Structures are given as structure tokens and as C-alpha cells.
């Protein structure tokens, strides 16, 4: 059955590419997606799939009831774009000024729609239910996953799979790992409140810039001296603002940054340590402080047993030699919210191809990916869904 589905997927591949290019030419930013979810919903309805729109805000959920009773699996794709000017010289270049699909979400969406079309034509043979989760605002904080979950997109679902095309992995490869796959993300903003004055009389002021500078240095000691070397973590200050004139000491300095962790205990410890260091540093200088600490995404944790399933399926799809254990990423993904509710696996698919200029990183104005990655995502999705629902193992053929 799987090979028949693969053949059908390959037959409709040109239409999937057309859909991807249509999305690429008309990208929409996070929380401003209007036409994109409409197109997705119309496509799914055309397949006779039950569709719910406006899920969590702008999400779309399609439900395909199989012809036989069984478990329920969800497959997820995201569809928002980024505030970046498209600089590629291609026929399907973005037509929206300052907005482009620079992270492959158009690839993900087209792949999942192709999967829906193929599976819908074989629904009578499917033992269970397949839920197609089309998520909005993955690039936002917090992402759309949280809102879609609150609106019931996972109700009755037993497991979820997700995929991401990667611009720095060769086309034809697949990566997956059990356990932690990406870090949690927290963001912070610290206001150092001093007493301003003239630059010629620093002794009459409480200089927030100097205090904030010391704070930046002190924060670097959290990872180096409070986190075990056996745990990965990062505390990064990415923004520092204070004053504006060369002879004026300002009243306030503001630093902003991000924290990345895997382990929940380390995450809690760093938040506590950051707040304590900020307060004590400012107190020692006679300055006040306001701390705004926001928890964004949890760490993404792939179910170890299900990751083994995906690994074998990927070996079946692209060949054993083209499947690797992906390294855990310090970037975050709001897919992790789904995994807080139910078991899940998130895998990556190579999209790099120097022959077509697909060599630029994600979020780059020249970003592109080999569109054949649509097929690889689709084949892994189809195989994993059928394997899980039927409790049948798909064995690699060594091709």
C-alpha cells in the first residue's frame, strides 16, 4: 500500500510545487495570515475532509476519518512568513514588499496538503483517524501552537509528527533523534534605573550605563559557573540601549536577551539566578531595577521509541546511508508545546542544493530549498502515519 501511495504522491508532485510557489509569491506575516489559511481550507474541503478554521486564531485543522476504527495521529505544518525582502531571482519571487517565506514553511504546507490528498483517496483502507494541523504564527512569540492547543486541535489525538526542511542539510537526507531535539526559549528585558546628569559630573549621578555594563558581564557567569558542564545552556544579551548624547549620563539603561536550555531544572535555576544577579548588581551600585522575564517555548522532546520508528521509515524512504542522528538545536520551536500534551517526533529533511543556489541559511533574503524535499517530507509523513495506525513496522530496504 505504501508504494502505491508514493506513486500517487509523485504523480501530484507538480501540483504541490505549484501550490508552494503560489504561497511563496504571496507570503503573509505571523498573526496576519488571511489568504493562506483560506487556500489551505479550500484545498482540504475539496478532498472531502472535515475542516475547522480559525483554530486558536488563524489555524486550520482537517480531520480524515479512515474506513476502519483505530488510533488518531496528527501531522503538523506551519504556514507563516517573515519580514524579510526576497532577493532571489526566480519566477516565483515574493510579490509582497518586505515579506517572504525565508524558512521553508511554504514547503511544509505543500507537503502536508499533498499527503492529505493522497491519503484521502485511500481513506477506506486507513485504520484510524489522521488530523492535519496547519499552524499559523510559528515565527511569533508565543507561537500559534499554544493557541491552537487551547482551542482543541489535539483533542482525541494520540501522537503528533512534524517536519522541517533544512537549508544546511543536503537534499536527500533526513535527520531525527530521540530525546531533546531543540532548546527551550526564554526572553528577558532588564531596566536599570539610575540618576542622570552631566557627563562632566559623574559623581552626582548613578550611572545606569556603567551598572548595566557590569550586569552584562556578571550574567556571563551563570552558564560558566552555575550550570554543570554536562548540561547545555546559553544566556545571551542581544540589545543594550542607554542615552544618546556624548556628554549626558542617562536616567535609564535597558538590556534585552535570550536564555536557551534543555533541562527543566536548569531552566528554573537560570531564571532565578538571572533575577538575583540583576537585583544585587543594581543594588550594589545604588540603582533600581525592573526585570521582565518571559518563558516562550519549552524544550522539544522527541519520544525515543517513536523516533526509532521515524528513523527506520526515513531509511526506507531515502536510504540507510542518508539518515543521520540530528544534533540537538539551541534554536527553539513552538512544536514543543504539542509534545507537552502528547508524545511526538520532529524530524528534519535536507533541502540544500548548490546546483539551484539553495545554499543560503534560513531567514536569509536569498533563502530557497530544493522543492523535491516536499516529496521526502510527504513520504515520511505517509509511512509514519500508516505504520503507527496499523502497528506495522516498515523495514528499510537498503536502497
pLDDT in tens, 376-391: 999 999 999 999 999 9
| C-alpha to C-alpha distance for 335 and 292, rounded to whole angstroms | 24
Identify whether 360 is part of a domain. yes
- pTM score: 0.93
**Is residue 127 included in any domain, yes or no?**
yes
So what's the pLDDT on residue 232?
94
In a domain, 397, yes or no: no
**Residues placed in the known binding site:** 103, 105, 139, 164, 363
Q: How far is CA 311 from CA 131, 191, 315, 380, 395, in A?
A: 22, 47, 6, 10, 10
- Say if residue 113 is in the same domain as residue 213: no
pLDDT for position 399:
46
Q: Which helix (H) or strand (E) segment is 45 a member of?
A: helix 35-46
CA–CA distances in Å: residue 376 to residues 32, 203, 318: 29, 66, 8
Q: Catalytic amino acids? A: 80, 138
Residues 6+ apart with CB under 8 A from 44: 51, 60, 62, 113, 116, 132
Number of separate domains in the chain: 2
Domain end call among 261, 295, 329 = 295
176 and 78 belong to one structural domain:
yes
| 60, 194: one domain | no
Task: Annotate 116-125 with b (16+ C-beta within 10 A) or e (fewer).
Answer: bbbbbebbee
Query: Could you tell me which residues are beta bridge partners of residue 176?
Result: 325
Q: Look at residues 234, 262, 295 and tell me which one is the last residue of a structural domain.
A: 295
pLDDT value of residue 141: 86
Computed from CA positions of residues 298, 299, 302, 304, in that sequence, does the dihedral angle turn out positive or negative? Answer: negative
Please say whether the beta carbons of 346 and 164 come within 8 A. yes
Q: Same domain, yes or no, for 234 and 303?
A: no
Same domain? For 277 and 310 the reply is no
Range of the domain at 63: 2-181+299-390
Contact in structure between 149 and 55 (CB atoms under 8 Å): no
Q: What is the pLDDT of residue 398?
A: 47
Residue with cell 501522537: 159
Write the pLDDT tens digit of every residue in 222-234: 999 999 999 999 9
Q: What pLDDT sits at residue 397?
A: 62
Handedness of CA 333, 335, 340, 344 (dihedral sign): negative
Residue 39 to residue 60: CA distance in whole angstroms: 10
* Residues making up the binding site for Mn(2+): 103, 105, 139, 164, 363
280/192 Cα distance (integer angstroms)? 12
Query: Domain check: are 354 and 256 in the same one?
Result: no
- The verdict on whether omega for the bond into residue 3 sits within 30 degrees of 0, i.e. cis, is no
* Partners of 352 in beta bridges: 170
- Backbone CA torsion sign across 165, 170, 172, 174: negative
Q: The C-alpha cell of 43 is what?
A: 484545498
Residues of the chain with pLDDT under 50: 398-399
The CATH number covering residue 78 comes to: 3.40.630.10
Q: In sequence order, what are the residues at sequence separation of 6 or more whose Cβ sits closer than 8 angstroms to the Cβ of residue 238?
A: 256, 257, 258
Spatial distance between the Cα atoms of 51 and 39, rounded to a whole number of angstroms: 12
CA dihedral 277, 279, 283, 284 (to 10 degrees): 0
Q: Tell me how far CA of residue 398 lies from CA of 91, 244, 318, 381, 388, in angstroms.
A: 38, 64, 9, 19, 21
Q: Rounded to an integer, what distance in angstroms lies between the CA atom of residue 119 and that of residue 197?
A: 70
Shared-domain flag, residues 320 and 176: yes
Residue with grid cell 554543570, as numbered in its chain: 228
Do 20 and 51 belong to one domain?
yes
Same domain, 276 and 332: no
Amino acid at each position: 500500500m505504501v508504494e502505491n501511495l508514493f506513486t500517487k504522491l509523485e504523480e501530484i508532485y507538480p501540483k504541490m510545487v505549484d501550490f508552494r510557489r503560489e504561497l511563496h509569491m504571496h507570503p503573509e506575516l505571523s498573526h496576519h495570515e488571511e489568504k493562506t489559511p483560506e487556500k489551505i481550507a479550500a484545498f482540504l474541503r475539496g478532498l472531502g475532509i472535515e475542516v475547522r478554521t480559525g483554530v486558536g486564531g488563524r489555524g486550520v485543522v482537517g480531520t480524515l476519518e479512515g474506513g476502519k476504527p483505530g488510533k488518531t495521529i496528527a501531522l503538523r505544518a506551519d504556514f507563516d512568513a517573515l519580514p524579510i525582502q526576497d532577493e532571489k531571482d526566480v519566477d516565483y519571487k515574493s510579490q509582497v514588499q518586505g515579506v517572504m517565506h525565508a524558512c521553508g514553511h511554504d514547503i511544509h504546507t505543500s507537503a502536508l496538503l499533498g499527503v492529505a490528498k493522497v491519503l484521502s483517496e485511500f481513506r477506506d483502507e486507513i485504520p484510524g483517524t489522521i488530523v492535519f494541523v496547519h499552524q499559523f504564527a510559528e515565527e511569533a512569540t508565543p507561537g500559534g501552537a499554544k493557541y491552537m492547543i487551547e482551542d482543541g486541535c489535539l483533542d482525541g489525538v494520540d501522537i503528533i509528527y512534524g517536519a522541517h526542511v533544512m537549508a544546511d542539510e543536503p537534499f536527500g537526507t533526513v535527520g531525527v533523534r530521540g530525546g531533546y531535539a531543540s532548546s527551550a526559549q526564554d526572553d528577558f528585558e532588564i531596566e536599570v534605573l539610575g540618576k542622570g546628569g552631566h557627563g562632566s559630573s559623574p559623581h552626582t549621578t548613578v550611572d545606569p550605563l556603567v551598572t548595566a555594563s557590569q550586569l552584562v558581564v556578571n550574567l556571563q557567569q551563570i552558564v560558566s559557573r552555575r550550570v554543570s558542564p554536562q548540561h547545555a545552556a546559553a544566556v545571551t544579551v542581544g540589545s543594550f540601549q542607554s542615552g544618546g548624547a556624548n556628554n549626558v549620563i542617562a536616567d535609564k539603561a535597558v538590556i534585552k536577551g535570550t536564555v536557551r536550555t534543555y533541562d527543566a531544572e536548569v531552566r528554573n535555576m537560570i531564571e532565578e539566578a538571572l533575577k538575583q544577579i540583576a537585583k544585587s548588581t543594581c543594588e550594589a551600585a545604588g540603582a533600581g531595577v525592573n526585570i521582565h522575564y518571559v518563558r516562550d517555548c519549552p524544550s522539544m522532546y522527541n519520544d525515543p521509541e517513536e523516533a526509532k520508528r521515524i528513523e527506520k521509515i526515513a531509511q526506507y524512504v531515502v536510504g540507510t546511508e542518508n539518515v543521520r542522528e540530528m544534533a540537538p538545536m539551541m534554536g527553539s520551536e513552538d512544536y514543543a508545546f504539542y509534545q507537552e500534551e502528547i508524545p511526538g517526533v520532529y524530524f528534519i529533511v535536507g533541502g540544500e542544493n548548490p546546483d539551484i543556489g539553495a545554499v543560503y541559511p534560513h531567514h536569509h533574503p536569498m533563502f530557497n530549498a530544493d522543492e523535491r524535499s516536499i516529496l521526502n517530507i510527504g513520504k515520511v509523513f505517509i509511512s509514519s502515519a500508516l505504520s503507527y495506525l496499523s502497528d506495522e513496522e516498515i523495514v528499510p530496504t537498503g536502497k
